[in-house]
A and B are shown apart, each in its own frame.
Chain A
């Protein structure tokens, strides 16, 4: 039986990858702003150009981490890419009017609707370890972000689409990724060595006793 992880289960399985996405998107957007400011300021308001640049920079920033975070970058038609991690496939998009952007072509429509045959099953207490999902295939996710009026990253969300048309989208769930800098799970904590180490080497000095040895002649 196919089924879909709940949002909490999916977030747990994605683990530190969420923080990496957030951080990389944050940097990609800053880089894009700088790029447009340095080269052609007026064009930063043209949404496709901006998001294309972000996507390209984002991919460059993700690439060095594929082994450490155990994910793969899969190129798709149109110069875009997917990230696969376990049974998840993730597509990255910029929000449209602050909401999940609708599919714009048939390929995207297929991606959005790929989960439609799956459903969320409740996990019975005690069965958490035995549960696996999905029993076949992948779960398609959409990672989408939006900007604030200063063209900085405002938020990042992950959605699990259930059904979509070119104008309408329905999701199993849709949840914000916390800013890893403040969520305590982004690896921003100070890294101290945990190796055991020696105490300060104090040694007792030899005890100086009064010389009461009669042979030395100093006793009296």
Chain B
């Protein structure tokens, strides 16, 4: 029996409207609507066509239990910034990656979320998180994604990039207790760090969906500023005469964009309006060159999903057949998900030693022995 909700999720994941899917299936839009609503069950032939067109196996559509995955901070995006179909697609990417991670997590022991949560103002919350991550106010955060993953935050990089939505955060899973950040934008490293810090701010401060959305965004920005550029240290580093080169020097240590640093200096009233304006004029004059400088930095990538898949399915050479069988996701989709995440070498900074030989995995080997 097909679960109509699954069809809707897959359609949104593929970025199709009901009419577009209907056209592919050689059916009417209302048929698709009825199927999705659960008012109609497809014939065997139609189900086969659905599987062929979407690439998802029949077992996927037959799952009755579906993981809850709220919109989270996607709700804070204004309608002008992102349309409903893109919002749904972004959310489905996050949902499917989380679903795969949840299935893997059920067989693995993984770091539990242990950062203190909310209840304070943005600045205090950021200071507490910073301290819990093991950083003093005078030390820059080396790799925020690494630190958060080690502390049990699920971070995924979407294989498909959505320029209008850089990232979103959500509490998901059983009783919405797992913090998830999904990176969906193609942004330079400094921007990505800022985005992750901003989304962490939403996770930490905004568990309620009701309130002033603009105020939520402002609070998340204040949280990110204090997390990445603590006031205590910035007021020592940023002194007049403050110039673009000095900003670039601080940026290279603190790994944020020059713009973010200048805005922070202004917000903390460490530079006057005139310097603030003059610096932004200089930035606009040197925009291209500064952009190149920013793009020269390698963005941090999460590893959670890939790490779990490698642990569960045979190390660096993942057994995708088994992975697909267990998770009910198509191999192509799983490969897309995994390849968007950081490899072990990239993540641990360890250089690969020698050539990787293609030995059968331990499980396959023991099966063979039993059969013989």
Whether A and B are associated in the same complex: the answer reads yes
Task: Indicate whether A200 reaches chain B with its CB closer than 8 angstroms.
Answer: yes
Interface centre among A189, A194, A195, A199 (most CB of B within 10 A): A199
Task: Indicate whether B286 reaches chain A with its CB closer than 8 angstroms.
Answer: yes
Q: Which residues of A contact B (CB under 8 A)?
A: 23, 26-27, 30-31, 34, 180-182, 184, 187-205
Chain B residue contacts of A203, Cβ below 8 A: 108-109, 311
Chain B residue contacts of A204, Cβ below 8 A: 107-109, 311-312
Q: Which 7 A-B pairs have the closest CB atoms?
A: A203-B109, A202-B311, A182-B289, A190-B297, A30-B241, A188-B248, A200-B307
A6 CB → nearest B CB, Å = 28
B293 touches A182 (CB 8 A): yes
Chain B residue contacts of A197, Cβ below 8 A: 146, 347-349
Task: Pick the interface stretch among B29-37, B163-171, B250-258, B332-340.
Answer: B250-258
Per the 8 Å Cβ criterion, residues 187-211 of B in contact with A are: 189-190
Q: In the complex the two chains form, what is the Cα distance from A197 to B308 in whole Å?
A: 17
Task: Indicate whether B365 reaches chain A with its CB closer than 8 angstroms.
Answer: no
Q: In the complex the two chains form, what is the Cα distance from A195 to B349 in whole Å?
A: 7
How many chain B residues sit at the interface, stated as a range, is 35 or more
A176 CB → nearest B CB, Å = 15
Task: Indicate whether B246 reaches chain A with its CB closer than 8 angstroms.
Answer: yes
Per the 8 Å Cβ criterion, residues 339-355 of B in contact with A are: 344, 347-350
B311 touches A181 (CB 8 A): no
A181 touches B109 (CB 8 A): no
Partner of B243, one of A27, A200, A202: A27
Interface centre among A194, A199, A200, A203 (most CB of B within 10 A): A200
Q: In the complex the two chains form, what is the Cα distance from A200 to B148 in whole Å?
A: 11
A190 touches B107 (CB 8 A): no
B20 CB → nearest A CB, Å = 39
A193 touches B109 (CB 8 A): no
A189 touches B296 (CB 8 A): yes
A202 touches B110 (CB 8 A): yes
A30 touches B243 (CB 8 A): yes
A-contact 0/1 string along B303-317, CB 8 Å cutoff: 110011001100000
A197 CB → nearest B CB, Å = 6
Chain B residue contacts of A31, Cβ below 8 A: 241
Per the 8 Å Cβ criterion, residues 236-268 of B in contact with A are: 240-241, 243-246, 248-249, 251-253, 255
Beyond the given A190-B255, A193-B142, A194-B349, could you list 16 further A-B residue pairs with CB under 8 A, ordered by the A residue number?
A27-B243, A30-B241, A31-B241, A181-B245, A181-B293, A189-B293, A190-B297, A196-B348, A197-B146, A199-B348, A200-B110, A200-B149, A200-B150, A201-B110, A204-B107, A205-B108
Partner of A191, one of B110, B252, B286, B292: B252
B237 CB → nearest A CB, Å = 14
Chain B residue contacts of A191, Cβ below 8 A: 252-253
B244 touches A199 (CB 8 A): no
Task: Indicate whether B38 reaches chain A with its CB closer than 8 angstroms.
Answer: no
B240 touches A34 (CB 8 A): yes
A192 touches B109 (CB 8 A): no
B252 touches A189 (CB 8 A): yes
Chain B residue contacts of A194, Cβ below 8 A: 349
A202 touches B292 (CB 8 A): no
A-B contact pairs, 30 of them (CB 8 A): A26-B245, A31-B241, A181-B244, A181-B289, A182-B286, A182-B292, A187-B252, A188-B293, A189-B297, A190-B252, A192-B142, A192-B143, A193-B143, A194-B349, A195-B349, A196-B348, A196-B350, A197-B146, A197-B347, A199-B344, A199-B348, A200-B110, A200-B304, A202-B108, A202-B109, A202-B307, A203-B109, A203-B311, A205-B107, A205-B108
Q: In the complex the two chains form, what is the Cα distance from A34 to B243 in whole Å?
A: 12
Per the 8 Å Cβ criterion, residues 64-109 of B in contact with A are: 107-109
Task: Indicate whether B119 reaches chain A with its CB closer than 8 angstroms.
Answer: no
Q: In the complex the two chains form, what is the Cα distance from A205 to B107 in whole Å?
A: 6
